[in-house]
Structure 1
């Protein structure tokens, strides 16, 4: 069994070329996807906009920006992410994040921070609203009939009529259904009370070893994809990597060593049942080392094989997203 490999990008640069260069490296290495970090209090460009910028210059790699549900309207999230899926021709995803930071709340001045339960209730509702809005156009809603002057079949646009504790959304969306139907939704989770509240397609987890990774996988439904996070400092010799790592701490396991040694670690974690690894480069040079040095080792050992499928859903082995408002869904 081969694993899927992703890379987490976190940069404060406002230079578009810096992002293009980084994602092109991941694309050339045929990594499965990259994630773009973001939060309200972070200096740097908007992650969804960055993903949209690099989409036209890449052809393979999936693009999964962080977008925070707290203080954000789900209608706006749905349209931005649907647009990303169109621009990338079906390679879009979304990493859900919540914010409990009072400083971030103060930036918007809308309300005080919510507690844990309310944050994730709101996030779960936001995910549901976004999913419904993506389905609010049936796949063949656009008819573009010049003879009759009809562009859209109005019978194939649907009001989602969502009413929850934190917002009410009627719809339909202003963007046609994305090419994937449902772009891939992911979340970083450290504990059961998070994944029990957020029903997403991909969970990023932070195990310390193969046993803890296996324990997490056993607690999640079999159809969910689990990616283990590893912070990676890679060098030609382990001593240099350890020196660069210094006193780095993280929620995820921190590795310092050679590409071959990291491949050994990944091979040791493969029996846990994880779908893949998301590597967090220790610094900018480590992204180059991952794509130039680690990927060939993983391929030689049969641990990683670049996908030939086009969309991110297909690449991750997720089922076809049937539109909930279609006749097929109604008859299921």
Structure 2
């Protein structure tokens, strides 16, 4: 059953990962293209196994070269101090004027999951203030005197594909990503997330649920390779893959969204610049023509793009607004 939000406009995001790029220029060019298409946000991986520049550094450069699109780096807490993570994302939110998010990597170790999920208490007399992440341990570890962030709280993104991450996503995420090879698989995870979110006192549209797909649009306008279009993508070692043309991809997106299976899609181009260009000029244009995707940004922050309210910042454990 579709949610009330699911019957609105589809949400679209894309991965900005560019394995062969070692400077910011290719990322800036791709981000400007995605912004022309009106995409909600871009993600950039930053695992220690990935060569290339730091994701936060790249997206800070991208922020100054763009004006509307959201910017979401992957940042792990496994090898970083949580306070420094919070400060770095807050800095990106300021430099982008409210367009920052944070892809929480909760799959690497148990330490990461605990760091995100368990909020230590704050005494009633504490003057510690949360600059960006209420309800998480980042609220109370260190005092913060930084100004209030442009969007109140950077958008939190969690990959909820694997079972252990779903409770974290249901409790904290603004956006939950689900890498699903079929509509039935995506719908099952959606139902579980909604049930878990209700346990934590959240509404049925929290979090926004986006299907994650690797897309190979190298076949241009040709129909999708059998097994990749219409009925759903094909499972591969790299994850769910759609291979075909932008027309059938638009139909797949419209169908899953129209049936309330997901709120949108997070798409990873197989060939960064080629597939992003065909996504924007083909798939997005078709969805816009059908009235399913925005033709302009009505707001300026990532929360506005996603239809998320501005949260009230509070001291963890006290319920007092900071």
Of 142, 145, 148, which aligns to 1:171? Answer: 142
Are residues 316 and 134 of structure 1, via their aligned partners in 2, closer, same or farther at CA, if it must alter by over 3 Å? farther
Show structure 1 runs of 5+ residues with no match: 101-113, 139-159
Are residues 261 and 137 of structure 1, via their aligned partners in 2, closer, same or farther at CA, if it must alter by over 3 Å? closer
Q: Could you tell me how far 1:33 is from its partner in structure 2?
A: 0.6
- How many residues get paired? 283
Secondary structure of the equivalent of 2:113? helix
Are residues 318 and 74 of structure 1, via their aligned partners in 2, closer, same or farther at CA, if it must alter by over 3 Å? same
Are the equivalent residues in 1 in contact too, given 2:158–2:173 (CA < 8 A)? yes
Are the equivalent residues in 1 in contact too, given 2:253–2:264 (CA < 8 A)? no
Aligned to 1:312: 302
Answering whether residue 50 of structure 2 is matched by residue 63 of structure 1, we say no
Q: Could you tell me how far 1:2 is from its partner in structure 2?
A: 1.9
Aligned to 1:211: 184
Mapped partners of 2:238, 2:103: distance in 1: 17
Q: Could you tell me how far 1:175 is from its partner in structure 2?
A: 3.5
C-alpha deviations, 1:218-259, integer Å up to 9, x for none? 1113221111011111132438989xxxx9934532111111
Aligned to 1:236: 220
Q: Could you tell me how far 1:173 is from its partner in structure 2?
A: 2.6
Secondary structure of the equivalent of 1:42? coil
Are the equivalent residues in 2 in contact too, given 1:65–1:94 (CA < 8 A)? yes
Of 264, 281, 299, which aligns to 2:251? Answer: 264
CA RMSD of aligned residues (A): 3.2
Mapped partners of 1:127, 1:282: distance in 2: 41
Are the equivalent residues in 1 in contact too, given 2:59–2:71 (CA < 8 A)? yes
Aligned to 1:275: 263
C-alpha deviations, 1:100-135, integer Å up to 9, x for none? 4xxxxxxxxxxxxx5xx4441133248999xxx995
Aligned to 1:146: none
Aligned to 2:162: 191
TM-score (norm 1): 0.76
Of 85, 100, 103, which aligns to 1:95? Answer: 103
Query: Which protein is richer in helix relative to its size?
Result: 1
Mapped partners of 1:280, 1:253: distance in 2: 10
Aligned to 1:225: 208
Are the equivalent residues in 2 in contact too, given 1:238–1:256 (CA < 8 A)? no
Aligned to 2:130: 136
Return the structure number with greater relative CO, CA threshold 8 A, min gap 6. Answer: 2
Are residues 83 and 42 of structure 1, via their aligned partners in 2, closer, same or farther at CA, if it must alter by over 3 Å? same
